[in-house]
Structure formats: structure tokens, C-alpha cells
């Protein structure tokens, strides 16, 4: 039997990039998945149709801006009503907006904080009562190596991702005794659209810091996510799991 057979996994920002990779891999392992998007409905619906046809699972498509707590409540409830539970939450939706702190307008700072930190907190707050009622569930927050090794222009982004690591540990302390596990996955340089700009400017420099001398893929992150969502990691909680090819060591 597949490791997530019949489970219901809600994934934010899952129409492309790392989120898409996690949705694909969860579906491969037998899970029903939420494909959430902010702008590209066509891509989300195409992905959902592909996963349903390929893996005989059900995919729930929803437009979701994680800055909107009312939208979070609405879509989590719709997903739970359709599948009877939320077994796992993957907080993947995130925003990158490089800029030196002194030049950043307060509106842009708030946008980063609301999307990358407050959004995941609100999503977790919404699924927790559903998980507590069943005394089981897994919450995964997608962090970044920027929290430990930031580039210039990443002060706010790094702060949000560092906050997610701390939030993960606190969730584990508060809810592990209720059967709910919390994890933070920290991807390194992953070959997605989010990396394209940096890669074009400094590919050799980035690779020089990766001992494995290659960029990672969304699939690399997704395999870790599936492991942490599954019962294979039932004695694991509160950890920060780095998937970076050794970047933080380089």
C-alpha cells in the first residue's frame, strides 16, 4: 500500500514549483490533495486533472491568498467537508521580494510578513481544531536556507523563514501530546522559477557553495515531505529538515 493512501493533504501554493512537486508526490502515494493557487487557475486545473487521471485520486482546486484569513477558513472547511478530514497541511505558499532593508517600503515588508509567516500561522490555526478532534495530523512548513545563510537584500525574507522554524518547534511542543506532528523543511537552491533570477546572475557562485555541485529539484523536497507526512516518521516532530545538497555547509 502507498504511504499516504486515502489521506487528505492541503497544500498551499501548489500549482507550480515546490508545491506542485509535493502535490504530485502525495498523489503518487495515494493521497487526495488540495491544489491551491493565487493567480493561475488554468495551471491548477490542468494539474488536478492530470493527477486524478494518473493516480485515481481526487484533487480539490481552490483559489487561495494566504493573506486572507476568511479565504483560508472557507477553503480549509470546503476541503475537510469533501474528504472528511485534513490529515496533513503543507504551508508552501511564499513570496520573494529582494531589496535592502533601508529601501523597502513598509507595504512590501508587510506583504512579505503576511504571506510568508502570518499566512502559515493562520492556515495552521484553521486546521488544528480538525486535527485535534481526531488526535492526529501533520503540519509541514516550508522554510529556506536564507534563514541561516542570507544573501544581501533578504533581510525580511530571511526573518520570515527563521520565524517559521521557531513556529514549527513551538507547534511541536504545544500539540505533540495530542498526536499532531510539526516539521519544517528547509530547501536549498532548487531549480524552480523562484530561483531563475538568481541563477541567471550567479549560477557559478551558487554552485560553488553546494558540495554536491548541482541544484536540487522540487521532487527532492517532495520526497522529504511525503516521508514526514507518513507514518514512517511517526517518532519525528519539531525538527528542521534541510534539503540543500550541503549548501549550508559549503
pLDDT tens-digit map of 107-125: 999 999 999 999 999 999 9
At residue 61, does pLDDT exceed 80? yes
Classify residue 7 by burial, with Cβ atoms within 10 Å: 0-12, 13-18, 19+: buried
Classify residue 217 by burial, with Cβ atoms within 10 Å: 0-12, 13-18, 19+: middle
CATH number at residue 130: 3.40.50.720
From the list 37, 55, 157, 247, the catalytic residue is: 157
Average predicted confidence (pLDDT) for the chain: 93
At residue 199, does pLDDT exceed 80? no
244 in Cβ contact with 145 (< 8 Å): yes
Residue 196, SS3? helix
**139 in a domain, yes or no?**
yes
Instruction: Give the pLDDT mean for 229-240.
Output: 98
Give the number of domains in the chain. 1
**210 in a domain, yes or no?**
yes
**135 in a domain, yes or no?**
yes
DSSP state, 88? E
At residue 250, does pLDDT exceed 60? yes
**248 in a domain, yes or no?**
no
pLDDT at 201: 46
**250 in a domain, yes or no?**
no
**3 in a domain, yes or no?**
no
What is d(CA 168, CA 186) in angstroms, rounded to the nearest whole number? 12
pLDDT tens, position by position, 127-177: 999 999 999 999 999 999 999 988 889 999 999 999 999 999 999 999 999
At residue 87, does pLDDT exceed 70? yes
At residue 221, does pLDDT exceed 50? yes
199: CB partners within 8 A, 6+ apart = 189, 191, 206, 215
Instruction: Give the pLDDT mean for 2-16.
Output: 96
Query: Is the pTM of the predicted complex or chain greater than 0.75?
Result: yes
Query: How many helices and strands, by DSSP H and E, does the chain display?
Result: 8, 7
What is the helix (H) or strand (E) element at residue 19, kind and residue range? helix 17-28
**67 in a domain, yes or no?**
yes
pLDDT tens, position by position, 39-53: 999 999 999 999 999
Q: Is 157 an annotated catalytic residue?
A: yes
**24 in a domain, yes or no?**
yes
Q: Residue 210's domain spans which residues?
A: 8-243
Amino acid at each position: 500500500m502507498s504511504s499516504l493512501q486515502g489521506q487528505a493533504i492541503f497544500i498551499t501554493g501548489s500549482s507550480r514549483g515546490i508545491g506542485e512537486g509535493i502535490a504530485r508526490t502525495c498523489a503518487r502515494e495515494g493521497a487526495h490533495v488540495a491544489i491551491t493557487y493565487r493567480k493561475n487557475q488554468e495551471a491548477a486545473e490542468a494539474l488536478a486533472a492530470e493527477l486524478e487521471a494518473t493516480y485515481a485520486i481526487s484533487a480539490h482546486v481552490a483559489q487561495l491568498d494566504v493573506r486572507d484569513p476568511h479565504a483560508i477558513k472557507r477553503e480549509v472547511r470546503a476541503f475537510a467537508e469533501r474528504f472528511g478530514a485534513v490529515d496533513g497541511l503543507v504551508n508552501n505558499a511564499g513570496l520573494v521580494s529582494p531589496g535592502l532593508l533601508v529601501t523597502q517600503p513598509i507595504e512590501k515588508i508587510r506583504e512579505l510578513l503576511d504571506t510568508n509567516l502570518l499566512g502559515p500561522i493562520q492556515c495552521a490555526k484553521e486546521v488544528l481544531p480538525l486535527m485535534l478532534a481526531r488526535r492526529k495530523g501533520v503540519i509541514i512548513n516550508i522554510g529556506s536556507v536564507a534563514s541561516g545563510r542570507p544573501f544581501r537584500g533578504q533581510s525580511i525574507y530571511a526573518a520570515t523563514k527563521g520565524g517559521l522554524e521557531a513556529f514549527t518547534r513551538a507547534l511541536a511542543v504545544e500539540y505533540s501530546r495530542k498526536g499532531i506532528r510539526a516539521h519544517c523543511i528547509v530547501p536549498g537552491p532548487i531549480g524552480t522559477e523562484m530561483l531563475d533570477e538568481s541563477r541567471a546572475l550567479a549560477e557559478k557562485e551558487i554552485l560553488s557553495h553546494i558540495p554536491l555541485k548541482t541544484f536540487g529539484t522540487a521532487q527532492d523536497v517532495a520526497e522529504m515531505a511525503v516521508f514526514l507526512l507518513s507514518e514512517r516518521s511517526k517518532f519525528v516532530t519539531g525538527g528542521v529538515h534541510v534539503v540543500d545538497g550541503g549548501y549550508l555547509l559549503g
